[in-house]
Chain A
Amino acid sequence: MKKFATLTAALLASAIMSLPAMASELRIGLNDDADVLDPAQSRTFVGRIVYTAMCDKLVDISQDMKIIPQLATEWNWSEGGTVLTMKIRDGVKFHDGETLDAAAVVATIERNMTLPESRRKSELSSVAKVEASGPLEVKFTLKSPDVTLLAQLSDRAGMIVAPKAAKELGANFGSKPVCAGPFKFVERIQQDRIVLEKFADYWDKDRILVDKITYLPIPDTTVKLANLRSGDLDIAERISASDAESVKSDPNLTYADVIGPGYMAMYVNLANGPRADNPLGKDKRLRQAFSLAIDREAIGQIVFEGTSLAGNQPFPSSSPWFNKDLPVPARDIEKAKQLMKEAGHETLDIELQHANSTTQTQMMQVIQSMVAEAGFNVTLKATEFATLLSEQTAGNYQLSRSDWSGRIDPDGNLHQFVTCKGGINDVKYCNPEVDKLLNEARTSPDETVRKEKYDAAGVILNDDMPIIYLGHQPYAYAISNKVEGFVPSPDGMMRFLGVSKK
């Protein structure tokens, strides 16, 4: 009996300890699950992360946020800025063997513009017509000059999909996506995993150094790190700030972060429905007072352990678009109280709604106690994310906490939020002066001219303060030392060309 038990134990032990031999596989821990895997329909941040490996786009961005070639090798704007001509790379194949040529590009762009479920329509709204002006040349004709188009083509709107597969599957393309990126789709189980494998015919195939990538959505941060430490994961994205220290001091892990192009802010209901009829929405001095009562640096320390960046504009201070004439203000309670008095209030009751995630809850409580010193009595209303969005759109709020993951073109962080007809203008701010500046900034290819306009708009917005910017989130990664060559990208995407695993 005893010998039998020992034998069984030994067998079990060896079975548990022996792992099947694997081709090199990168296992990535994502913060949440992607939605539909179709670049035309997708709306999530983690969806973009998966596409970075699976779907090549017309242009990409470099480490210093400049636009560089990917599927398009060169491009130029016509005089007047209404025609964009792009030359397409030769010899590129889709995952199913089809050739990627100008016709395929045109088919994808048209799909993005006309598929009823497409979410890319507003991104391509300036395009009047797209056509193949040669076997490897595509011509975009715009309704009016819009330099931001290039930036849109560096994201989902520019991801080229295989025309045959797209036609066959239509809106169900996401069940078996076929693109032209370094890795091709294998399988996807909702909330469990997304598996990609190396595409042997990729145009830059020598830089693919791993055979398989598996993305695993694991929202719980402790579990993510535990998996990383035990070797079940190789990279964990967006780890929480409080884990940064323990990752840095772990000899088997590396910590890397980068400040994203997005921002954290609070929207003030200026004119969206009856609830806008409150002092904060009506008097900009109160908004300025609220902003001055917040100690942004302290929030960065308390909530983000110093990994975030304090901010007062839609662009981080590290961005070339930041207006240096409007530095991030330090906390000034005296000035805040003075402004409040001028506006005729000793104290003010305000309701602040936010998503009921731990970080946001923590951050809002800190702000609540900070602004209390100036006389603002903030009532916090934690809502589920789904309800938060619809309340915000419907105008059922006074102050609402909202984040934006950011776009590389400054227009992407501003236009749709503060222009009179902006698609995500939940504050219903409308200033023709700002509209004019932002629309003009879209048309000029000269960066100096654009910066002037954004600066001018920034001054007005800083005074009116429809949106109170708080700071900028970091994208923080914990990387196993077995992984070589991984560098965080400024847009929060994970690029795996040149990345290998020991």
Chain B
Amino acid sequence: MPVYIGKRLLVAIPTLLIISIFVFSLQKLLPGDPILAMAGEERDPATIEFLREKYHLNDPIITQYLSWVGGILVGDFGVSLRTNQPVLELIGQKLPVTIQLAVMAMILAMLIGIPAGILAAVYKNRTLDYVANVVALSGLSIPNFWLGIMLILLVSVNLGWLPASGYESIFVDPVRSLKTMIMPAFVLSTALAAQLMRHTRSAMLGVLSSDYIRTARAKGLSPREVILSHTFRNALLPIITLSALLFGELLGGAVLTEQIFTIPGFGKLTVDAVFTRDYAVVQGIVMCTAIGFIVMNLIADILYVLLNPRLRATL
């Protein structure tokens, strides 16, 4: 096991390097001068030049890149051009928000998707299956931002049931936290629930047709027992690994939803940073998201091997 993990981590290094080059060059190639963009209305040439020097924007590109990478290795991701706040601190403030959103979305998606998938598999090719499939496809097909806008219009503007924006940490004010996050979490969960449902369905179908299930049924076990204790448990494996992957995607994918609901999370931070050319922030976030994604992939793979008794034996 440790050898396996070690090898995977080793392979991750060139990948991370390539990502760092990509995101760095992209930021540098973006038109528009970040200092000018920050300058807003007042423009004092002496100060602008000073700031360019301070942030090493006049150095050759290679130097800038190397000093940035060097900084990362010691944990210094640079500072936000807008507010002088260290990027790592900024990420530390925003990450819990997006994580909370992702967790809520994941829970909702599982609550909706997995039972739906089980039902669809059991009632395969009957009406329930078709309906579930269409609903799942709808969840995948609705543009997130549109669903968000429509929900705001209906629930906040017309009905006034839930606040349209804002954020409260669940540890500070749980009620308000749930109230502000439930709509964006729901919007995010639609696509996830759809994928989970379809995946559960096919995993269940795969298992349902196998020999040991036929044996269980032949033994006389009730359908409920057959489905829940035998089929589902074995179908669980691919479902868990998919969930780990999806969670990793979630961290970077809430961009538009956060924008619409004004949730101060990762996605919103990144978009705002791209538009204000706050390049240290963009770079820092992409690196963090990439590392998170690679870690989640690794966890999913490990889970896959650990949870499958046949594979575990080969370790």
Contacts and interface: CB of A to CB of B under 8 A. Distances in A.
A and B touch in the complex (CB under 8 A): yes
Interface in A109-161: 116-119, 121-123
B43 A424 contact: yes
Contacts, number: 137
A220 B262 contact: yes
B44 A423 contact: yes
A226 B84 CA distance: 32
B175 A226 contact: no
Interface stretch (B14-22, B63-71, B122-130, B157-165): B157-165
A227 B163 contact: yes
A43 B40 contact: yes
B84 A171 contact: yes
B45 interface: yes
A117 B47 contact: yes
Nearest to B155: A226
B165 A220 contact: yes
A226 B275 contact: no
B239 interface: no
A1 interface: no
Contact of B50 (A117, A172, A175, A232): A117
A345 to B, nearest CB: 31
B254 interface: no
A216 B165 CA distance: 10
A16 B177 CA distance: 11
Contact of B85 (A190, A217, A388, A404): A190
B80 interface: yes
Contact of A121 (B34, B44, B82): B44
Contact of B42 (A43, A116, A386): A43
Contacts of A216: 166
A463 interface: no
Interface string A349-378: 000000000000000000000000000000
Interface stretch (B135-143, B190-198, B205-213, B264-272): B264-272
B2 interface: no
A35 interface: yes
A5 interface: no
Interface string A403-414: 011000000000
B57 interface: no
A386 B34 contact: yes
B276 interface: yes
B266 to A, nearest CB: 11
Contact of A223 (B38, B84, B152, B173): B152
B50 A230 contact: no
A78 interface: no
A229 interface: yes
Given A222-B157, A226-B157, A404 B41 contact: yes
Given A36-B84, A189-B264, A389 B47 contact: no
A229 B37 contact: no
B262 A230 contact: no
B88 to A, nearest CB: 13
Given A119-B47, A175-B85, A219-B262, A190 B32 contact: no
Interface in B8-54: 31-34, 36-47, 50-51, 54
Tell which of A171, A190, A385, A388 has the most Cβ of chain B within 10 Å: A190
Most chain B C-beta atoms within 10 Å of own C-beta, residue among A191, A389, A393: A191
B215 interface: no
A189 to B, nearest CB: 6
Contacts of A229: 157, 160
Nearest to A384: B275
A218 interface: yes
B51 to A, nearest CB: 7
B82 A387 contact: no
A386 B264 contact: no
A216 B180 CA distance: 14
B199 interface: no
Given A223-B261, A227-B165, A190 B83 contact: yes
A44 interface: yes
A15 B178 CA distance: 12
Interface string A156-178: 00000000000000011011000
Contact of A35 (B45, B82, B175, B269): B82
A263 to B, nearest CB: 12
A385 B30 CA distance: 13
B269 A191 contact: yes
The residue in A44, A192, A219, A405 that gathers the most chain B C-beta atoms within 10 A of its C-beta is A192
B207 to A, nearest CB: 31
B179 interface: yes
A389 B85 contact: no
Contacts of A405: 41
B156 A226 contact: yes
A52 to B, nearest CB: 17
The listed residue with most B CB atoms (<10 A of its CB), out of A33, A35, A219, is: A35
B164 A386 contact: no
Given A230-B156, A386-B275, A393-B36, A172 B264 contact: no
B32 A386 contact: yes
B304 interface: no
Interface string B140-158: 0000000000001100110
A217 B262 CA distance: 9
A190 B152 contact: no
A136 B138 CA distance: 71
B44 A230 contact: no
B42 A389 contact: no
A16 B180 CA distance: 12
A386 B39 contact: no
Contacts of A222: 152-153, 157, 164
Contacts of B45: 423
Interface string A186-228: 0001111000000000000000000000001111101101110
A390 interface: yes
B80 A190 contact: yes
Interface in A1-43: 15-16, 20, 33, 35-37, 43
Contacts of B167: 192
B261 A43 contact: no
Interface of A: 15-16, 20, 33, 35-37, 43-45, 116-119, 121-123, 171-172, 174-175, 189-192, 216-220, 222-223, 225-227, 229-230, 232, 384-390, 393, 404-405, 423-424
17 contacts: A44-B40, A116-B47, A116-B50, A117-B54, A190-B269, A218-B262, A222-B153, A223-B156, A223-B165, A226-B157, A226-B165, A232-B163, A384-B32, A386-B277, A388-B32, A389-B39, A423-B45
In the A-B complex, the 8 residue pairs with the smallest Cβ-Cβ separation, listed nearest first, are A386-B37, A226-B164, A386-B32, A192-B264, A43-B40, A387-B32, A226-B156, A390-B33
